């Protein structure tokens, strides 16, 4: 997505200072953005050229539309609503539909009428996660950021707010404009919770992930919970579903897990109030996966490092060249 606004980074000197002297009633401040210059909007290069060449300027200014304000709004949302886990799931499912040939993080899920919006694996995301972001989307999209980049950033802010690692976000994802621009089919895109270790490899290997990546990414289950009306499974993975740490791996190794059948007919494992899916238990049943479970259970720093690497790879599946700054 091409940048469509000019952020005001400093006031002293240049266009901002001149404008403020000439238009004290429309004074701009650091953190504001210019959205239109003499009738030109949506193209920063042309807007800058107008600022340099035109003798008279008529500017449209948007107050407080910067990356810093966006992050602050996202942090407030996570803290007030406690919705960090579902933001991680939103980003994961937006990007994870990549199967090695098609599908990419392009926010196609927000578009009703079939496609990713209707995928069973995405149940609850169009109905809960996307509406939670609506006010922020209305404020910043498309002036500052695309929906797809916003979902990516929201997940990374959520991870940090919940105590997890600081994850770099790259920008430039282009939003789908119709459901047909999303993944062509749901089959084989995302893992099913009632399968085994081989299923995890079958899902993740075509995306370019190793055993280490699979286990590290599974560690995101340290936050959040399953909901019967969305996945057919029930309960949180850990005691504190809003704390991003290595408890998930410690619990896999140290707790006694008993298989149960929930109301939906699905089988899962339980230990007290916490539960695990069969794909979670596969991580300790498979010897190669278990090596990483043991590593992360004893070394949270190693988990964070490997998670960051795998997570950024996931968020950029199927993307072209992205940029470092918004």
Contacts of 302 (CB under 8 A, 6+ apart): 295, 296
Selection from 1-10, 63-72, 172-181 with the highest mean pLDDT: 172-181
- What integer is the mean pLDDT of 103-130? 96
Percent of the chain residues past pLDDT 70, beyond the cut? 99
CA distance 160 to 84: 9
Residue spans of beta strands (DSSP E) within the chain: 6-7, 33-37, 40-41, 59-62, 225-226, 235-236, 258-261, 267-271, 274-276
CA distance 174 to 148: 7
Tokens of 108: 């196609």
Q: How confident is the model at residue 210 (pLDDT cuts 50, 70, 90)?
A: very high
CA distance 115 to 319: 19
- What integer is the mean pLDDT of 178-191? 93
What's the pLDDT at 3?
Answer: 67
The interaxial angle of helices 84-96 and 147-161, nearest 10 deg, is: 140
What's the pLDDT at 44?
Answer: 85
What's the pLDDT at 145?
Answer: 94
- What integer is the mean pLDDT of 53-57? 87
What's the pLDDT at 203?
Answer: 96
- What integer is the mean pLDDT of 83-91? 98
Mean pLDDT of the chain: 94
What's the pLDDT at 168?
Answer: 97
Q: How confident is the model at residue 177 (pLDDT cuts 50, 70, 90)?
A: very high
**pLDDT tens for residues 222-274?**
999 999 999 999 999 999 999 999 999 999 999 999 999 999 999 999 999 99
147 is catalytic: no
**Could you tell me the residue ranges of all domains in the chain?**
6-64, 68-315
CA distance 110 to 300: 35
93, 117, 170, 221: the catalytic one is 93
What's the pLDDT at 231?
Answer: 95
Find, among 61, 35, 63, 32, the residue nearest to 142 by Cα: 35
* Residue 303: half-sphere exposure toward Cβ, Cα within 13 Å: 25
Find, among 54, 60, 317, the residue nearest to 206 by Cα: 317
What's the pLDDT at 2?
Answer: 61
For domain 68-315, the CATH superfamily is Peroxidase, domain 2 (1.10.420.10)
Percent of the chain residues past pLDDT 90, beyond the cut? 76
What's the pLDDT at 212?
Answer: 98
Contacts of 16 (CB under 8 A, 6+ apart): 8, 10, 28
Distance between start and end Cα atoms, the chain: 10
């Amino acid at each position: 997505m091409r940048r469509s606004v000019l952020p005001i980074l400093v006031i002293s000197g240049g266009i901002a200072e001149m404008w403020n002297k000439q238009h004290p009633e429309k004074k701009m401040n650091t953190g504001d953005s210019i959205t239109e210059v003499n009738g030109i909007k949506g193209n920063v290069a042309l807007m800058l050229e107008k600022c340099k060449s035109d003798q008279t300027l008529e500017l449209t200014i948007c107050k407080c539309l910067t990356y810093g304000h966006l992050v602050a709004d996202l942090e407030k949302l996570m803290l007030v609503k406690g919705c960090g886990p579902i933001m991680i799931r939103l980003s994961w499912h937006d990007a994870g539909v990549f199967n090695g040939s098609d599908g990419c993080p392009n926010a196609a899920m927000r578009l009703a009428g079939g496609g990713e919006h209707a995928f069973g694996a995405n149940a609850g995301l169009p109905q809960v996660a996307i509406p939670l972001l609506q006010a922020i989307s209305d404020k910043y999209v498309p002036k500052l950021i695309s929906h797809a980049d916003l979902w990516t950033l929201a997940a990374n802010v959520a991870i940090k707010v919940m105590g997890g690692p600081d994850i770099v976000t790259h920008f430039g994802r282009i939003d789908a404009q119709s459901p047909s621009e999303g993944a062509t089919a749901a089959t084989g895109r995302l893992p099913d919770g009632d399968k085994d270790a081989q299923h995890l490899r079958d899902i993740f290997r075509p995306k370019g992930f190793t055993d280490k990546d699979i286990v590290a990414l599974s560690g995101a289950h340290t936050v959040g919970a399953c909901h019967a009306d969305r996945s057919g499974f029930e309960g949180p993975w850990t005691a504190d579903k809003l704390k991003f740490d290595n408890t998930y791996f410690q619990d896999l190794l140290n707790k006694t897990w008993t298989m149960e059948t929930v109301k939906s007919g699905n089988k899962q494992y339980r230990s007290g109030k916490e539960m695990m899916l069969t794909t979670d238990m596969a991580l300790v049943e498979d010897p190669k996966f278990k090596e990483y479970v043991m590593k992360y259970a004893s070394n949270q720093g190693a988990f964070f490092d490997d998670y960051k690497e795998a997570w950024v790879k996931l968020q950029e599946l199927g993307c072209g060249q992205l940029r470092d700054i918004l």
